[in-house]
């Protein structure tokens, strides 16, 4: 099956800083989603982005499917951004394959 | 609020027991997916149903089974529970294959 690697595994930021999270995948994909898992365990949809760039407030994502990677940008980070960010490509039509996640802590 | 409802939120039981987790998909979604999140395996796909029929199977143990009912809600049955089955079980739904999946809040299962 497809392999998904996320980097960095852990990230500590000061409030207000910007960051870039990376997701590499080993095979071509039909689509890709980014999720934020908050400290209560909820998985929140951030982006559905099979290719190109999308923006939602302080967050934006870019997927370059031909080069098999996706990036998630967080600008002006806030303490509420803390949690784990997952990348999940879908290359088999039905199932999402999750990476190991990037654990983000934003300090006030 | 994703629109996907999972019950119960928490479940504590003992080894050897059987439990049923329930999921109501978003209105209009025909596909339901089950995922397991454990400390050692991470988040992994278990099984998908589309309009009542099994569509795809992942790393689901033989002790586990699922079904989707005519009203489109789904149940995940876990039997002969072992300590290693302790995990967060998520249900997701989508309008169809390849469409964005929306996740419920999960059921946290603890085996004592």
- Residue among A18, A6, A88, A91 nearest B102 (CA): A88
- Average pLDDT estimate for B32-46: 94
Spatial CB neighbours of A74, under 8 Å, sequence gap ≥ 6: A18, A19, A20, A21, A58, A59, A81, A104
- Residue in the block written with tokens 């407030």: A57
Among A31, A88, A94, beta carbon nearest to B55: A94
Q: What share of chain B is helix, strand, coil (3-state, %, to 5)?
A: 5, 55, 45
pLDDT digits (tens, 9 = 90+) for B43-54: 999 999 999 999
Pick the residue of A23, A95, A97, A103 with the most B CBs within 10 A to test the interface with B by mutation.
A95
Pairing of strands A59-64, B10-13: unpaired
- Average pLDDT estimate for B68-96: 96
Binned at pLDDT 50, 70 and 90, residue B31 comes out as: very high
Give chain A positions within 8 Å (CB) of B31.
94
- Is residue B84 pLDDT above 70, yes or no? yes
- Across the interface, whether the CB atoms of A95 and B43 are under 8 A apart is answered no
CB A5 within 8 A of CB A64: no
Helix (H, G, I), strand (E, B) or coil at B44: strand
Could you tell me how far CA B77 lies from the centroid of its own chain? 9
Question: How far apart are alpha carbons B50 and B53 in whole angstroms?
Answer: 5
- Is residue A42 pLDDT above 90, yes or no? yes
- Average pLDDT estimate for B23-37: 97
Distance from the A54 Cα atom to the nearest Cα atom in chain B, whole angstroms = 15
pLDDT digits (tens, 9 = 90+) for B8-29: 999 999 999 999 999 999 999 9
Geometric angle at alpha carbon B47, from B19 and B69, rounded to 5°:
65
Between residues A34 and A29, which one has the greater pLDDT? A34
Rg (CA), chain A: 13
Burial B12-25 (b: 16+ CB within 10 A, else e): ebeeeeebebebbb
Among A48, A94, A95, beta carbon nearest to B100: A48
Q: What integer pLDDT is reported at residue A93 of this predicted model?
A: 67
Name the closest residue on chain A to residue B98, using Cα atoms.
A93
- Average pLDDT estimate for A5-26: 97
Question: How far apart are alpha carbons B75 and B41 in whole angstroms?
Answer: 22
The rounded percent of chain B whose pLDDT value lies above 70 is 100
Helix (H, G, I), strand (E, B) or coil at B72: coil
pLDDT digits (tens, 9 = 90+) for A82-107: 999 999 999 776 799 999 999 999 99
Residue B68 forms contact with A (CB below 8 Å): no
Pick the residue of B1, B49, B59, B100 with the most A CBs within 10 A to test the interface with A by mutation.
B100
CB B92 within 8 A of CB B45: no
Binned at pLDDT 50, 70 and 90, residue A68 comes out as: very high
Give chain A positions within 8 Å (CB) of B6.
none
């Amino acid at each position: 099956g497809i392999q998904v690697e996320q980097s960095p595994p852990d990230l500590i930021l000061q409030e207000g800083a910007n960051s870039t999270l990376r997701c590499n995948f080993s095979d071509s994909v039909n689509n890709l989603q980014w999720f934020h898992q908050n400290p209560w365990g909820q998985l929140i949809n951030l982006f559905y982005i099979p290719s190109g760039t999308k923006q939602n407030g302080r967050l934006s994502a870019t997927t370059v499917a031909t080069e098999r990677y996706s990036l998630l940008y967080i600008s002006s980070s806030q303490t509420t951004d803390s949690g784990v960010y997952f990348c999940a490509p879908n290359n088999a039509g039905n199932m999402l394959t999750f990476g190991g996640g990037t654990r983000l802590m934003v300090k006030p | 609020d994703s629109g996907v409802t999972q019950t119960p939120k928490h479940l504590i039981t003992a080894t050897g027991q059987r439990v049923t987790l329930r999921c109501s998909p978003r209105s209009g979604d025909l596909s339901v997916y089950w995922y397991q999140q454990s400390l050692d395996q991470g988040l992994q796909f278990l099984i998908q149903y589309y309009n009542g029929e099994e569509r795809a199977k992942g790393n689901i143990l033989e002790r586990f089974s699922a079904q989707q009912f005519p009203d489109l809600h789904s149940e995940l049955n876990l039997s002969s529970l072992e300590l290693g089955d302790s995990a967060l079980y998520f249900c997701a739904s989508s309008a169809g294959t390849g469409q964005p999946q929306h996740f419920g809040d999960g059921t946290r299962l603890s085996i004592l």
